[in-house]
A and B are shown apart, each in its own frame.
Chain A
Amino acid sequence: MNIVVCVKQVPATQKVEVDPVTGVLKRDGIETKMNPYDLYAMETALQIRKKTGAKIHVITMGPPAAKAVLQEAFALGADEGWLLTDRKFAGADVLATSYTIASGIRQIDHVDLILCGKQTTDGDTAQVGPEMAEVLGIPHISWVTELIDADDQALIVKQDLNEVEAVARIPYPCLITVEKGIFQPNLPSYKRAKEAADNPIHTLSAAQCRTLDPSRIGLSGSPTQVERIFTPTHDVKTMRLDGPEAESAAKLVAILKEDKMWEEENA
């Protein structure tokens, strides 16, 4: 059995700045790390490997330096790495990203299960998993809160749907994205990292993905355009209410109403 875990390299901090002149994100010199939500996907893979003996592949799309995130995954226990890197992939939105990673996954033989994190801490859309499942034509369940069982045929998982909790059986091949808290992730181990020094990493360019249609990747394959990026204006000015309690209470209710935190019943 083969599991593919999708991991993304993200800036180590969310406090990024926008260059006021060019309007682009200042990414230079910012430290990177594995998207924290992907640690849970990695841990889920390790738990399933315990039960099924599956092999764990990790895949990432990014610049050549994103190789580091595959090595991080090795230090957590992954077996084999796939690095999708090509200038032509740059500027991809979710649709082009999902298409590209799906094309990379197609290079791996007999994939049964694909695991993604809930979302990333940079782009923050939580859309790549479901879009990839659609590209690959396989079923998916998002934001799985609990892995109840796994064998070589299917997963049994729990999902929290607003008013109800649902337990579902989803047969392979399939994709799930996992909530944080599905498992407590282990820390990367130096020993494992050393042992994994020879784990294979396959580098894939656009041309090396056999099925890839070059019109569907990168900036030109992306329907969405980021027209402008800016920093939100926070006004953390404190409003002080120090009059009589009845007056302050009335003001508070008005504020809650304005913030849509409270509506008059039967209105």
Chain B
Amino acid sequence: MRGIGKSFPGVRALDGVSLTLSAGEVLALVGENGAGKSTLMKILAGATPADSGTILVDGVLVRIDGPRAAEALGIGMIYQEFNLVPELGVVENIVLGNEPTRSGLLDAAAATDRARRVLEELGIDLALHTPVGRLAIAGQQMVEIAKAFTRKARIIVMDEPSAALSEREIERLFALIERLRAGGVGIIYISHRMEEIARIADRVTVLRDGRVIETRAVTAFPQDEIVQAMVGRRLDAHFPELPPVAADAPTVLEVRGLRRQPVVGPLSFQVRAGEILGLAGLIGAGRTEILRAIAGADRAQSGEVEIDGAAVRIRRPSDAIEHGVAFITEDRKAQGLVLGMSVRENVTLAHLAHFVNRWQLVDRAAEAHATAGMIDELHIRTPGTEQLVRNLSGGNQQKVVLAKWLLGKARILLFDEPTRGIDVAAKAEIYQLMVNLVRNGAAIVMVSSELPEVLGMAHRILAIRAGRIAAEFSHNDATPAAVMAAATGAAA
């Protein structure tokens, strides 16, 4: 791949990325969340077109304008979400879309034969006719790999293949990769786990902010240097100054022994009035699940939550709201907003009980008045309270979500990716708002995949790995490299 570029509205996802892969080689592709790995791989797989750049396979310029074109070129993708039909058996999945036929009818014997040969060649031991939905994740992954292999894939991309596997399963995966490599297949291995990269990869390419930072042989690339390359030295966004937490500030939220299978805990932490606690970590580390359990969006298996020193039971979102907990979700369109409703209806949704008259009828004038107040306070750019939220920009939609929670005078705010997908100006406004909130005594827990955001906006930072606290940092001694090392488990 040479000089690949790709832009989305407002974001330059890839900027002149080039990489090479030889037959029989394992190339590790690493980078932070949002560094551009997925976009790059989607371009290779034909799932999305590149804006610029060229792709050569065996030295020949090719055009990949769809998944079929990629497949024809021998490019196979193993996504984290498998593309298998769970109800069909192992054989049917392996030959899917490519079924052997005899005089127009499916030839089951030939299909079984073909599948068996492939599985044998790869050293995979699976019952041929089990519905793949009943296989463990590792088994399904083997089926995916076998499927790619039957299609004569010579380039196989694996996106965090070990993320959901146990130690033993990882060993089997590595054995399989060795066989593929011996058969001349080139593998692009996307992973965050440094120890795996050291074991399996020949070379490492580090992506950051849509650019290739460095490519080196793995033997000449120590783990701490890989991490350093991943986080880099970046231009700091303009974060407002954090007001110091008063020495005698009381603990507002305390979480003890929180556990939610299979991803969280047990873990414990506390947040004081006027404090912003940042949760850093990789996607899948369980950060969102921690917030969801506290907010009552999911039920925790065990653990205690204390608010203002008193134990509370939060079993559903309304319990959390009652205790002054607001959960600003990561995906505002799927979880935060009713897009087909007006700004007014969204802003008052969580506190509609405050807007009824003595007949229990909703008082629209009072709603509109309160909403207009929030529009002024948060500088929401909308033609009025009756505008459908669907028609607002991402930043203004996010402010509507915030308005919904601020209306209720929440004192504990759980922010999940508070500035995802919004422009720089709106980001700055939201940071300022968070500062104002803690200045007035609120406590904030913030999850963010943008490391500078966590470092710039949190008094304390917890690095979360595999649902547990891997390390704790204060605002002053947190460095990108140290936090990332803790989050990835690298030997720093």
Bind each other: no
User: Which of B's residues lie within 8 Å of A, judged by CB?
Assistant: none
